[in-house]
Structure 1
Amino acid sequence: MGFSEHMKKASLVGAFFVSVFWQIQALAFCPSPGRLSTLEVAQVVDGDTLRLVDGRSVRLIGINTPELGRDGRKAEPFALAARRRLQALVQASDGRVGLVLGQERHDRYGRTLAHAYDAQGRNLEAVLLADGLGFMVAVAPNTRMVACQQRAEQRARQNGLGVWRELKPGSPQSLRRGGFALLEGRVERVERNRGGYWLEMDGPLVVNIPPQALDAFDVRTMTVLAGKRLELRGWVVDRRGRVGAGQARWMLRVTHPAMLELSR
């Protein structure tokens, strides 16, 4: 056997064991809670949304994948890869998935909120996160699996996979439109009022932790955040025209501590 043929065979063997290793890792991140009845999938809409044969749209809990192109905008990097990966996972599961519904069962668009599992018991959100094809998100009250989904994302981030290949968090000053964002900035001031805690960042951004979410946070640490740098993630809202002079144009509402992290 020539050297090139030997290396080719070795690469294939190595790839096989790497693939098996990551499948085992995916099972370890967020294992199935038990035997689940399965439902037939009619369409994979994007990397985090399924449409079932029964007509329901299912928004996967704990992950936000890059946006597909629409309204003249180009698809975000890895949006198509995330959809293709989810399509492949569903196809490999005979087109059926098991669902575990969230504590909050529907979002404001009427979509069913659920965790999805394939025929092997793998959590589909964890597989996508471990492949670097989305961002972990924690939105109360559907936060039961935050810890294992964080571990899945961390695996991708440490290995520079997918969205983590070259991504660096943006700054509050870089905000140009609303929607999901990963940001890093310094906390200038911390205030508390009837609306909860407000972290005023070094730019036109304020982070709000509403009163109903405070039980999940260690509020004793809030006041010492001033001067610290945080990595933030979540959906940014444009408040232009709705706030007074001197107030931040952009707001990011956070309902779980996993969406805030002290910068390293």
Structure 2
Amino acid sequence: MKAFVVTRHSNIRCTIGLITLILAASVGFCEAESWVKARWVADGDTIILRDGRHVRYIGIDAPEIAHKNRRAEPMGDEARALNRRLVDGWKLRLDYDREKKDRYGRTLAYVYRSDGLLVNADMIEQGYAHVLYRFPNISQHHILLSAQRLAMAHGRGIWRRVDKEKQRPRAYQANRRSKRFHAIDCPMGKSISEKNRIWLKNQWAGFWSGYAPARECIEFPSPR
């Protein structure tokens, strides 16, 4: 399995700072306090830290587990189990994008382990989440999409449920601005402007191009 590891120049600066007396007084510069640990794994794309913060992974969407009056989506429990294996016991670092909070007050972050693994990307690469483009937090979109294409090419996890051969002209309408695709009869799809509307022959084509299904009209992963 290819691990998505990112080495940042800030780590080099941090090391220098720790061994330099001039910078030793400025521990905050090295972001030593940025290392955190997960207390609870809520599902495949959300964790709760020991300090109480709820962290939602940027750029991905995993199948839902059962909650309130909603049944679990296919592979939702498996996605949470993988997320737990990836983060349990590890020191984690949160990297932010342009927006740090969502409308529910959750912290939005790219979550890196102390060995450099980007958890967001690994959830996708192993086939238990898909890319969810949401502007303006798109700085790592290309990395996440590369992970998704790798998972798709190998038929991992949720991609066993998507038929890449099944196709018909104008099967799904998609919004090139929001990168969401809709069922042909979806009311939300009808509001797409002509300049932003494109047509997809199947779901596979949409996912490969970095689009995500509109939850208002498409259940994904679909039950068998």
TM-score, normalised to structure 1's length? 0.59
- Mapped pair 1:185 → 2:168: no
The CA deviation string for residues 98-154 of structure 1, in whole angstroms up to 9 with x for no partner, is 000121110000000000001110100111100000011110000000011001011
- Mapped pair 1:222 → 2:195: yes
Distance of 2:93 and 2:114 partners within structure 1 = 8
Q: Are 1:129 and 1:136, in contact at CA under 8 Å, matched by a contact in 2?
A: yes
What is aligned with 2:185?
203
- Mapped pair 1:107 → 2:102: yes
What is aligned with 1:80?
77
What is aligned with 1:26?
3
User: Which ranges of 4 or more aligned residues in structure 1 deviate by more than 6 Å?
Assistant: none
Q: Are 1:43 and 1:52, in contact at CA under 8 Å, matched by a contact in 2?
A: yes
What is aligned with 2:112?
117
Aligned-residue CA RMSD (Å): 3.2
Q: What runs of 5+ residues in structure 1 fail to find an aligned partner?
A: 1-21, 170-183, 191-195, 211-220, 238-249, 252-264
Q: Are 2:173 and 2:197, in contact at CA under 8 Å, matched by a contact in 1?
A: no
Q: For residue 206 of structure 1, report the CA deviation from its aligned partner.
A: 3.5
Identity of aligned residues (%): 27
**Corresponding letter in the other structure for 2:41:** V
What is aligned with 1:58?
55
Distance of 2:38 and 2:112 partners within structure 1 = 12
Q: Are 1:40 and 1:52, in contact at CA under 8 Å, matched by a contact in 2?
A: yes
What is aligned with 2:19?
none
Distance of 2:200 and 2:74 partners within structure 1 = 30
Structure 1 segment 1-264 matched on structure 2, within 5 A: 22=1, 25-27=2-4, 31-33=6-8, 34-35=10-11, 37-91=34-88, 94-168=89-163, 185-187=171-173, 202-207=184-189, 222=195, 225=198, 229=201, 231=206, 232-237=211-216
Is the alpha carbon distance of 1:106 and 1:223 closer, same or farther for their aligned partners in structure 2, counting shifts above 3 Å? closer
Q: What runs of 5+ residues in structure 2 fail to find an aligned partner?
A: 12-30, 165-169, 219-224
The CA deviation string for residues 154-185 of structure 1, in whole angstroms up to 9 with x for no partner, is 1111111000012349xxxxxxxxxxxxxx83
Q: Are 2:35 and 2:93, in contact at CA under 8 Å, matched by a contact in 1?
A: yes
Distance of 2:182 and 2:70 partners within structure 1 = 31
Q: For residue 32 of structure 1, report the CA deviation from its aligned partner.
A: 4.5
Distance of 1:200 and 1:54 partners within structure 2 = 39
**Corresponding letter in the other structure for 1:122:** L
**Corresponding letter in the other structure for 2:129:** G
Higher CA-based Rg: 1
Q: Are 1:78 and 1:133, in contact at CA under 8 Å, matched by a contact in 2?
A: yes
Is the alpha carbon distance of 1:100 and 1:224 closer, same or farther for their aligned partners in structure 2, counting shifts above 3 Å? closer
Distance of 2:182 and 2:45 partners within structure 1 = 31
Q: Are 2:44 and 2:83, in contact at CA under 8 Å, matched by a contact in 1?
A: yes
Is the alpha carbon distance of 1:224 and 1:75 closer, same or farther for their aligned partners in structure 2, counting shifts above 3 Å? closer
